[in-house]
C-alpha cells in the first residue's frame, strides 16, 4: 500500500474536529501512523530508544542549518499515529519554534490525552521531553 | 450459565456496569465483605496491636491474630507461627532471599528458577547471587508454555541449594506440576520456594501436601486488599533465619549492647503491621470459604474453555500458552498487531485487559515474542464478558 503523505498540523486539527466516535479518531491515528517513513533497522538501536514509553519508540535527530529534523518510529501503530502528530508540530523547525510551541494545548484541543491510558500519556510526554531537550541543546550549541 | 450470582457481591462491578474487567491476574475486585471488614476495623476496633495496656488494643490484637489463624487454616500450615505478614508476594520472596538465602548458598552454589518466572521471582535471586557468589540457573520453558521437565531434571543434577518456582504462570496461566517438581527438588536437598500469587484465588493450596519450604502470595489477587500478603515458611527454617528488618515489634529485650529477638512470627514483623489489611484479607478468605470452591473452579474452567474456543475463531489470532493444565488466563496475539495497540482498542470498548511482557521478560524472550494481550478471568466473570471480549477483539482486528 503506498504511504499517504504525512499530514500537516492544520489537516490534523480540522480532521479531528469532525470526529465524534472513538473509532474514527483511532482509525485516523492508525492511518497517519502508516504514513510515517519507517526508521532503518540500523537506527532501531538501544541508544535511540525513548525511555518511559510503554512500546518501543526510537528517535534520531538530524540538524540542517538551524532546523531540527526528527526521525521517529515505533513498533505500535497507534503510537506511530501519535508520532505523526508530534512530527507535524516539531519536525523541520528551528529550536526556538519547538521550545515555544504549546504542545499540551494541542493535545488538549485534540482531546488526545483523555483517550490515552496514563502510561501511554506518559510515553507521549517522554517523547516530547526528549525532543525539547534536543532543541535546547541545539539552540545552545 | 449466565451471570454468576457472586457478581452482585462486588460493589465496583455494580458501580461500573459497562466495564468488562478481565485483568484479574493483576488484581481482583473486592467483595463487600472485605470492604465492610476494613471500615468496621477503623470504625470499631482500631488500636495498635501486641502492646495492650487497654481493652481496645487487646481486641485489635485478637482480631489481627485471628486473621493469621484464618490464613494458616486456609493453606493448611501446621501453625500460625508459620504465617508471616508481608506487603505481598514480592516482599515475601525478598524476605526469603534476604534472610534464608545467605544460610543456604555460598560461592559457586546453584539457585534454580524457571524461564517463566515473574520478575519478582528472578531479581531477588540475582541480587542474592551478587551478594554471595551463587549462580542462578533457569529451567527452560517449552513452546506450549510448560516447564521442560527434562531440562529441570538435568539442572537438578547440579544440586541447587534453592529452587524457586511459580505455582501458576502470571503471563500464560500454566499450572505447574508441583506434585512432581517439588519432590525431585527436595530429593537433591534444595530449599523449595513457591510463588503462589496466581494460584490462591483459583484453587485450594495445601502447603503440607505440596511439601514446599516457603509459599508466597498476595491478598489483593484473591479478593483481599492491596498491601498485604503472606509468606508461609516451615517453622524449622524460620527459627534459624535472622530477622531481615529491625525495629519495634520484633524484639524481646533491647539493651544498648545487645538485643534478643521476639519469637515467631513476630521476629519477621518489625514495626506496626498492616492490621486492617490483615483483618480484611482474612475476611476475603472467609468469603471464599463460604462459597463452593468446586463450583468456582468449574465456573472458571468453563470460562477458560469458552474463551479459548471463541478467541480461536478470530482470524489471525494465536493463543500463546497451550499447557494442558491452565488457570483462567488467555494470552494471545493478533497477526501483525502490537499487543499495546490491541489493548488500547479493547480499552476504548470498555474491556480491561493487560498488555505487554507481564513482568516476565525472560519468558517472552524464550517464546520469541515481545509481549501478549492477556485476558484473565475470575469467579464474577460471565460468558457475556467473554462474548464482549471477542466482539471487541474482532473490531480491533478490523481497525489494525
User: Considering the domain boundaries, does residue A81 fall inside one?
Assistant: yes
pLDDT digits (tens, 9 = 90+) for A103-119: 989 988 888 766 666 66
**Partner-chain residue, chosen from A22, A77, A79, that has the shortest CB–CB distance to B348:** A22
Are residues A82 and A112 in contact, defined by beta-carbon separation less than 8 angstroms?
A: yes
CA distance B368 to B388: 29
Measured CA distances, B288 to B40, B112, B218 (Å): 19, 33, 15
Are residues B47 and B54 in contact, defined by beta-carbon separation less than 8 angstroms?
A: yes
What's residue B247's pLDDT? 86
Phi, psi of B196 (to 5 degrees): -100, 15
Chain B partners within 8 Å of A77 (Cβ): 337-338, 341, 400
**Partner-chain residue, chosen from A30, A76, A79, that has the shortest CB–CB distance to B399:** A30
Q: Is A45 on the interface with B (CB under 8 A)?
A: no
CA distance to partner chain A, nearest, from residue B338 (Å): 5
Question: Cβ of A75 and B338 within 8 Å?
Answer: yes
What's residue A1's pLDDT? 37
Q: Is A9 on the interface with B (CB under 8 A)?
A: no
Question: Cβ of A26 and B399 within 8 Å?
Answer: yes
pTM attached to this predicted model: 0.93
Helix B178-187 × helix B149-156 angle, to 10°: 20
User: Considering the domain boundaries, does residue A54 fall inside one?
Assistant: yes
User: In this complex, how many residue pairs, one in chain A and one in chain B, have their CB atoms less than 8 Å apart?
Assistant: 39
CATH number where A37 lies? 3.90.1010.10
Q: Is A95 helix (H, G, I), strand (E, B) or coil?
A: helix
Helix A9-18 × helix A22-34 angle, to 10°: 150
Question: Cβ of B356 and A27 within 8 Å?
Answer: no
Chain A partners within 8 Å of B399 (Cβ): 23, 26-27, 30
Question: Cβ of A26 and B348 within 8 Å?
Answer: yes
Beta strands in B68-160 (DSSP E): 83-86, 110-114, 135-139
Question: Cβ of A23 and B356 within 8 Å?
Answer: no
* pLDDT over 70 (residue A2): no
Chain B partners within 8 Å of A23 (Cβ): 348, 395, 399
**Partner-chain residue, chosen from B338, B345, B356, that has the shortest CB–CB distance to A26:** B345
* pLDDT over 90 (residue A69): yes
Domain limits for position A43 = 9-140
Which site among A25, A31, A76, A82 would you substitute to test the B interface, given the most B Cβ atoms closer than 10 Å to its Cβ?
A76
Chain B partners within 8 Å of A31 (Cβ): none
What's residue A115's pLDDT? 64
Element counts in chain A: helices (H) and strands (E): 6, 2
- The residue of chain A with its CA nearest to that of B395 is A23
What's residue B335's pLDDT? 93
3-state helix, strand, coil in chain A (%, to 5): 60, 15, 30
DSSP labels for B263-328? -TTGGG--SS--HHHHHHHHHHHHHHHHS-HHHHHHHHHHHHHHHHHHHHTSTTEEEE---SSB-S
Question: Cβ of B344 and A75 within 8 Å?
Answer: no
**Partner-chain residue, chosen from B338, B348, B399, that has the shortest CB–CB distance to A76:** B338
Chain A partners within 8 Å of B400 (Cβ): 30, 77
Measured CA distances, B237 to A63, A75, B55, B273 (Å): 63, 48, 35, 22
Phi, psi of B257 (to 5 degrees): -80, -30
Pairing mode, if any, of strands B351-352 and B83-86? unpaired
Q: Is A24 helix (H, G, I), strand (E, B) or coil?
A: helix
CA distance A10 to B362: 44
Taking alpha carbons only, the member of B111, B171, B184 closest to residue B145 is B171
Q: Is A26 on the interface with B (CB under 8 A)?
A: yes
Q: Is A114 on the interface with B (CB under 8 A)?
A: no
Place of cell 526528527: A70
Phi, psi of B215 (to 5 degrees): -140, 125
Measured CA distances, B209 to B212, B216, B325 (Å): 8, 16, 19
CA distance to partner chain A, nearest, from residue B319 (Å): 20
Write down the ipTM of this complex: 0.85
pLDDT digits (tens, 9 = 90+) for A19-34: 888 889 899 999 999 9
Sheet containing strand B135-139, strands side by side:
B83-86, B229-233, B214-218, B191-195, B162-166, B110-114, B135-139
Q: Which domains does chain B have, with CATH numbers?
A: 4-30+292-399 (3.90.1150.10), 34-289 (3.40.640.10)
Quickly state the pLDDT bin for A51 (edges 50, 70, 90).
confident
Chain B partners within 8 Å of A116 (Cβ): 344
Secondary structure letter of residue A5 according to DSSP: P
**Partner-chain residue, chosen from A30, A54, A120, that has the shortest CB–CB distance to B400:** A30
User: Considering the domain boundaries, does residue A83 fall inside one?
Assistant: yes
Taking alpha carbons only, the member of A127, A123, A62 closest to residue A93 is A62
Q: What is the mean pLDDT of each run of 10 residues along chain B (400 residues)?
A: 79 96 98 98 95 90 97 98 98 98 98 98 98 98 98 98 98 98 98 98 97 98 98 98 88 86 92 97 97 95 98 97 97 94 94 94 95 97 97 96
Measured CA distances, B366 to B68, B219, B361 (Å): 39, 30, 9
Residues of B with CB under 8 A from a CB of A: 337-338, 340-341, 344-345, 347-348, 356, 370, 395, 399-400
Quickly state the pLDDT bin for A52 (edges 50, 70, 90).
confident
Are residues A61 and A69 in contact, defined by beta-carbon separation less than 8 angstroms?
A: yes
Please list the active-site residues of A.
53
Count: domains in chain A = 1
- The residue of chain B with its CA nearest to that of A80 is B341
User: Considering the domain boundaries, does residue A112 fall inside one?
Assistant: yes
Chain A partners within 8 Å of B344 (Cβ): 26, 78, 116-117, 120
Chain A partners within 8 Å of B356 (Cβ): 54
* pLDDT over 60 (residue A3): no
Question: Cβ of A30 and B395 within 8 Å?
Answer: no
Taking alpha carbons only, the member of A75, A89, A90 closest to residue A123 is A75
Which site among B18, B344, B356, B359 would you substitute to test the A interface, given the most A Cβ atoms closer than 10 Å to its Cβ?
B344
Please list the active-site residues of B.
359
Amino acid at each position: 500500500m503506498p504511504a499517504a503523505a504525512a499530514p500537516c498540523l492544520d489537516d490534523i486539527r480540522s480532521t479531528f474536529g469532525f470526529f465524534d466516535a472513538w473509532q474514527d479518531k483511532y482509525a485516523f491515528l492508525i492511518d497517519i501512523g502508516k504514513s510515517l517513513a519507517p526508521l532503518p533497522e540500523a537506527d532501531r538501536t538501544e541508544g535511540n530508544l525513548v525511555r518511559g514509553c510503554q512500546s518501543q519508540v526510537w528517535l534520531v535527530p538530524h540538524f540542517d542549518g538551524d532546523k531540527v529534523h526528527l526521525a521517529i518510529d515505533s513498533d505500535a501503530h497507534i503510537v506511530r499515529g501519535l508520532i505523526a502528530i508530534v512530527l507535524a508540530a516539531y519536525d523541520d523547525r528551528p529550536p526556538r519554534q519547538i521550545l515555544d510551541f504549546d504542545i499540551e494545548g494541542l493535545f488538549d484541543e485534540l482531546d488526545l490525552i483523555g483517550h490515552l491510558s496514563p502510561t501511554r500519556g506518559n510515553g507521549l510526554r517522554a517523547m516530547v521531553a526528549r525532543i525539547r531537550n534536543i532543541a535546547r541543546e541545539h539552540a545552545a550549541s | 450459565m449466565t451471570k454468576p450470582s457472586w457478581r452482585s457481591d462486588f460493589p465496583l462491578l455494580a458501580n461500573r456496569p459497562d466495564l468488562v474487567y478481565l485483568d484479574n491476574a493483576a488484581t481482583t475486585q473486592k467483595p463487600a465483605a472485605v470492604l465492610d471488614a476494613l471500615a468496621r476495623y477503623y470504625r470499631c476496633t482500631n488500636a495498635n496491636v501486641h502492646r495492650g495496656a487497654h481493652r481496645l488494643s487487646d481486641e485489635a490484637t485478637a482480631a489481627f491474630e485471628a486473621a493469621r489463624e484464618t490464613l494458616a487454616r486456609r493453606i493448611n500450615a501446621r501453625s500460625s507461627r508459620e504465617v508471616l505478614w508481608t506487603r505481598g508476594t514480592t516482599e515475601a520472596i525478598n524476605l526469603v532471599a534476604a534472610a534464608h538465602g545467605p544460610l543456604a548458598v555460598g560461592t559457586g552454589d546453584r539457585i534454580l528458577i524457571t524461564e517463566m518466572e515473574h520478575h519478582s521471582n528472578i531479581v531477588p535471586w540475582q541480587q542474592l547471587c551478587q551478594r554471595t557468589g551463587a549462580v542462578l540457573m533457569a529451567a527452560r520453558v517449552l513452546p506450549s508454555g510448560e516447564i521442560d521437565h527434562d531440562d529441570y531434571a538435568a539442572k537438578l543434577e547440579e544440586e541447587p541449594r534453592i529452587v524457586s518456582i511459580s505455582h501458576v504462570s502470571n503471563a500464560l496461566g500454566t499450572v505447574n506440576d508441583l506434585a512432581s517438581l517439588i519432590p525431585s527438588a527436595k530429593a537433591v536437598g534444595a530449599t523449595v520456594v513457591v510463588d503462589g500469587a496466581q494460584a490462591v484465588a483459583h484453587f485450594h493450596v495445601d502447603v503440607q501436601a505440596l511439601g514446599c519450604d516457603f509459599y508466597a502470595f498476595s491478598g489483593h489477587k484473591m479478593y483481599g486488599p492491596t498491601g498485604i500478603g503472606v509468606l508461609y515458611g516451615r517453622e524449622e527454617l524460620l527459627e534459624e533465619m535472622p530477622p531481615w528488618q529491625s525495629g519495634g515489634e520484633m524484639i524481646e529485650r533491647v539493651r544498648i549492647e545487645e538485643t534478643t529477638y521476639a519469637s515467631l512470627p513476630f521476629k519477621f514483623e518489625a514495626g506496626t503491621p498492616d492490621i486492617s489489611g490483615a483483618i480484611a484479607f482474612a475476611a476475603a478468605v472467609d468469603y471464599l470459604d463460604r462459597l463452593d470452591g468446586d463450583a468456582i473452579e468449574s465456573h472458571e474452567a468453563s470460562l477458560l474453555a469458552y474463551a479459548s474456543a471463541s478467541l480461536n475463531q478470530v482470524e489471525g489470532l494465536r493463543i500463546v500458552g497451550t499447557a494442558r493444565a491452565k488457570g483462567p488466563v488467555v494470552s494471545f496475539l493478533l497477526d501483525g498487531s502490537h499487543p499495546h495497540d490491541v489493548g488500547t482498542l479493547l480499552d476504548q470498548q470498555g474491556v480491561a485487559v493487560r498488555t505487554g511482557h507481564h513482568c516476565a521478560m525472560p519468558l517472552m524472550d524464550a517464546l520469541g515474542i515481545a509481549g501478549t494481550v492477556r485476558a484473565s478471568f475470575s469467579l464474577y466473570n460471565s460468558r457475556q464478558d467473554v462474548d464482549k471480549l471477542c466482539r471487541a477483539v474482532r473490531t480491533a482486528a478490523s481497525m489494525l
